[in-house]
Amino acid sequence: MNIYVELFSIILYNYLILFALGVFCIMDVLKISAKSNPNSIAGALAGVIREKGIAEMQSIGAGALNQAVKAIAIARGFVAPSGIELICIPALPTSDTLTVGSLASIC
């Protein structure tokens, strides 16, 4: 069997398991503004991660992205004693996530 087919099968199987566990259910997005308090965001982020195991943040603009990055660093301090390691995956928006003319970072 082709190595790519095997790899795809393993990835698909893992996604199906995660979907069955509800990891890919529709989740609320933590929307961050430039005026958001990083400590408040961090508390919300830590709570969502403890509850669901995954969180999504959205920021539009440099100031909001700055607050989001600070919040991630603070939230890491909140969840690290529990043995949870945060992983952030920045992404640009797709046509189904935002309206036309907007830019965002999703973590």
Residues of the chain with pLDDT under 50: 1, 99-107
The whole-number pLDDT of residue 91 equals: 82
What does the pLDDT read at residue 65?
92
- The token pair at 105 is 């970072």
d(CA 96, CA 19): 20
Enumerate long-range contacts of 23-26, CB under 8 Å, 24 or more apart: 23/52, 23/53, 23/54
The dihedral through the CA atoms of 69, 81, 23, 26 has a sign that is: negative
